[in-house]
Amino acid sequence: MGERNFRELLEAQWSRGNFVCVGLDSDPEKIPESVQCRYDTASTISLFNRAIIEATSDLVCAYKPNLASYLKYGQEGLEALYRTSILMRYRAPDIPVILDAKYADIGNTNLGYASFAFDRLEVDAVTVHPYLGAEALKPFLDQTDKGIFVLCRTSNPGAGEFQDLKVDMGPILVNDQPRYRPLYQVVAQQVTRDWNKNDNCALVVGATYPDELREVRKLVGDMPILIPGIGAQGGDIEKTIVAGKDSRGQGMIINSSRGIIFASSGDDFAEVARRETIRLCEEIDRYRGGGKKG
């Protein structure tokens, strides 16, 4: 396979009007009987993922496997993730893959995480925590052709415990800038101003907090934003699009996991997954302008 650049792959999908990201959080306990392989969890997950990918690859801007969903099943889960990463490269070579791992550690340890994600799994992007600062994240930030998604304002109910804490920004230098800002806004500003030297940074902001999403978009301009929380978590698609789109009406990676891959528990799961992806595409188009998917 040739060299891949995450941002170029993503921009190409946006140009086609694709903004849905399918979260491959595959759970063997929910996978239909028709693809169950007795005593072989790796094959069960891999076959299920293959069917989902083949049913949706012309509609999406990214796939996002969640590392924890695979680690739960030990060696077989990791084998399934490895097989899926290969499958995505060959069955959907134009679609970028985001490993949702939420990495965070000191720099030396992050070297190992980066090697696993980019050298072993050959994914195009990862999610990371900002808490240890840019110095610790250097092994990721130095990957000029990859996407580095920094957690900013997450979609879980308890997100505000730390992310909404007010930080003193010092003397006001511009009249419309408040002296005290929520921590998530400080993260957004720092990533945009100081971390994005290679133009490979992006943010994670949950759809369940559209007001916060709007504030982040103002701070980061046209930087890509991964937006989880649509579907099972209850994010409002209209508010999300209005708040999250950039100056071009793009900039969004709208993630849905369970709402797509487990929309049906029957033999028609792939067909229904495609139908749900089309439905979400059409909702996105309705609020940003665009044509219908087929």
CA 33 to chain centre: 28
The amino acid sitting at 99 is L
- Residue written as token pair 């739960």: 72
CA distance 17 to 290: 7
Classify the phi-psi angles of 264: left when phi > 0, otherwise alpha if psi is within -120 to 50, otherwise beta: beta
CA distance 25 to 48: 11
CA distance 173 to 155: 32
Nearest to 203 by CA among 279, 212, 118, 87: 212
Q: Which of 30, 64, 102, 292 is catalytic?
A: 102
The partner residues of 260 in beta bridges, in order of sequence, read none
Nearest to 103 by CA among 133, 137, 69, 73: 137
CA distance 182 to 187: 9
- Secondary structure of residue 54 in the 3-state scheme: helix
Kindly report the number of other CB atoms within 10 A of residue 186's CB atom. 18
| Residue 293 falls in the annotated catalytic set | no
Nearest to 125 by CA among 226, 31, 24, 52: 226
Strand pairing class (98-103; 60-64): unpaired
Question: What tokens appear for 208 in the block?
Answer: 């369940």
Question: What tokens appear for 291 in the block?
Answer: 């044509």
Q: Please identify every residue annotated as catalytic.
A: 102
